[in-house]
Amino acid sequence: MSSWTYSASNEANLMKIKYGKLIDKQFNQDAVILGRLKKMEDFVGKQIERPVIQSIGGGVGAGSLPTANENKIAKATLSSPKKLYAVVSIDRETMKAAKTDEGAYVRMTKFPVQIAVKSFNRNLERMLTRGDVSGTGALVTGSASNSVVTGAGTSGDPYIVSLDVASTYFPAEFESIEEGDLLNVNSETTDLDVTAVTITVSAGYATGTVSLVGTSSRLATLAACCGTAFGASDKLYIQGSKDNEIAGIKGVISATSGSYKGITVGRRWQSYQKDASSAAISTDLMNDVVMNVKRQSGKCPNLILSSYHQYTKILNLLEDQKVYNLPARDKQYKGQISFSAIEYMSPDGKIPVIPSRFMDSDEVFFLNDDHIELHCRPSGFEWFDEDGTVFLREATDSYEARYGGYAELFINPHFHGRLHTLAV
């Protein structure tokens, strides 16, 4: 009678491996602003011009017939829209090997395009939320006092940009970067692959590092010289995005001087600003912003956006408020984007309070999304299929698919408020 004793080095070759389901939801994909703002596919021609009434004064009086006078009307100009893209490239053999469920967890003609759209929306949400008023696209700005660079830019010894941001930055700086992003330094055109991001948050502030593999003359210079910092003139950008991004909400509602869309920032073209002077967030401070936005524009905000840090504090203030679902404005996002929110009661009704990972820890935005518009070329954002197919053959044995569109954001700053310099 024969016997059979299991041997890991022999009979294990007969054993199958049991694979579990793909785990895909490991990071925050909420697109709060993208789901709420008005989306218009009306950007045709060279530019869009919008009249803005900045005064209703003149021509009134009592006792005798008054003298007529003109109201002040300005013109906001939306110039050529920004070009926004996501690209995927798939090796043909990989496509064939993963064509069935037997060969792979996912179909390689389906999964990469899903990820590309999610990444596109993530990058667009970042621009919409925290883009500066000039659309420079800077993700992270250095600081000579506490930012250093080490490494050689190789896979074994990547450049490591260390940012001690206890007095300068907030976690949102790091939330703007994902492993796999390709970045540029300053005006350089060489791409650096993000291989790792570390974040340590303490009391709302953050320290961390970004590991980069690739070629950068600036980082090489900084890494080679003892103690030379990644200074205030040094910035990281998503590849090709320097000076090519949308002017976002943060930049527009923070502006107290200069111009936006061709109109000088001033009394009727500026958001209400409230400096908390390092005080903790309170209902008094929130009431101040809401009522002053109501005073200056005639309408209360309908969306309050905060960092997760301030959201936790607001939860403690409004802990008795019920939770409900905030629907997306655009029907194409319904069922895809849903937010649970606490409510702030204003003179015009309930205002949902929602956290965003792209918000700085020391400020809260009070927005009216009826006055935030994303103007797109016809068809909006889509897969480029003018050739009759999404996947196009490349020069090598691979296929490329492109997603994106052309859009510009228009914000009337007069209908919004900003509470800043909060205690963290």
Residue 218 inside a domain? The answer is: yes
Residue 340 inside a domain? The answer is: no
Can you give the pLDDT at residue 1? 44
Can you give the pLDDT at residue 395? 85
Residue 168 inside a domain? The answer is: yes
CA distances to 68, 301, 420 from 367, in Å: 36, 5, 14
Residue 117 inside a domain? The answer is: no
Residue 193 inside a domain? The answer is: yes
Query: Average pLDDT of the chain?
Result: 82
Range of the domain at 164: 142-234
Q: What is the DSSP letter of 319?
A: T
- Give 312-317's long-range contacts (Cβ < 8 A, gap of 24+): 313/280, 313/281, 314/281, 314/286, 314/342, 314/353, 314/364, 315/342, 317/281, 317/282, 317/283
Please list, in sequence order, all residues whose beta carbon lies within 8 angstroms of the beta carbon of residue 199, skipping any fewer than 6 positions away: 171, 174, 206, 207, 208
* Residue among 225, 214, 213 nearest 148 (CA): 225
State which of 92-106, 163-177, 365-379 shows the largest mean pLDDT. Answer: 365-379
Structure tokens at 206: 């953050």
Structure tokens at 78: 């939306």
Average pLDDT of the segment spanning 401-422:
94
Provide the number of structural domains found in the chain: 1
pLDDT of 263 strictly over 70:
yes
* Residue among 112, 256, 241, 114 nearest 176 (CA): 241
* Residue among 254, 259, 258 nearest 273 (CA): 254
Quote the CA–CA distance of 201 and 164 in Å, as a whole number: 11
Confidence of residue 330 (pLDDT cuts 50, 70, 90): low
CA–chain centroid gap for 306, Å, is 13
Average pLDDT of the segment spanning 92-102:
68
Residue 412 inside a domain? The answer is: no
Average pLDDT of the segment spanning 113-123:
86
Confidence of residue 320 (pLDDT cuts 50, 70, 90): low
Residue 149 inside a domain? The answer is: yes
State which of 80-94, 164-178, 237-251, 381-395 shows the largest mean pLDDT. Answer: 237-251
Q: What tens digit of pLDDT does each residue of 1-59 get?
A: 444 544 555 555 545 444 444 444 444 456 788 888 889 888 898 888 888 887 777 78
Question: Could you tell me which residue, 190 or 53, shows the higher pLDDT?
Answer: 190
Residue 227 inside a domain? The answer is: yes
Among the residue ranges 41-50, 149-158, 218-227, 330-339, the one predicted with the least confidence is: 330-339
The three-class DSSP label of residue 263 is: strand
Quote the CA–CA distance of 137 and 246 in Å, as a whole number: 8
